[in-house]
Amino acid sequence: ILNVEQSPQSLHVQEGDSTNFTCSFPSSNFYALHWYRWETAKSPEALFVMTLNGDEKKKGRISATLNTKEGYSYLYIKGSQPEDSATYLCACDNYGQNFVFGPGTRLSVLP
């Protein structure tokens, strides 16, 4: 079983602040890394799929980077807004067979 870790567990930021959090995963046998955004009472929504070392993806104010050699990915949010409040999950794709999810980082953006 892969071990996927995320830090911090939770985070409170003020509206307008930029923030980032980390996903760590085993660097051996890497296939793909997925980021999801999960709002309370809803289902997780895919943000990014990343496969190549050095990959950088961006969607609006949210971006992510990937380092497969050292086994980590960062998710950045620029100018946080209250609607960014959610749990952000990363998942390591085990050769396209199944995903192992991290425990998530719960972000609260205070107005």
Bridge pairing between strands 5-7 and 10-14: unpaired
Beta strand spans in the chain (E): 5-7, 10-14, 19-24, 32-38, 45-50, 56-59, 62-67, 72-77, 86-94, 98-101, 105-110
Distance CA 90, CA 55 (A): 15
| Nearest distance, CB of residue 9 and other proteins, angstroms | 8
| Nearest distance, CB of residue 107 and other proteins, angstroms | 15
Number of residues counted as binding other proteins (CB under 8 A): 24
Q: Which of residues 42-101 bind other proteins (CB under 8 A)?
A: 42-46, 49, 51, 89, 91, 93, 96-101
Residue number, 33 or 77, with CB nearest to other proteins: 33
Q: Position of tokens 């719960």? A: 106
Distance CA 96, CA 41 (A): 28
Q: Which of residues 14-43 bind other proteins (CB under 8 A)?
A: 32, 34, 36, 42-43
Residue number, 17 or 65, with CB nearest to other proteins: 65
* Contacting positions for other proteins (CB under 8 A): 1, 9, 32, 34, 36, 42-46, 49, 51, 89, 91, 93, 96-104
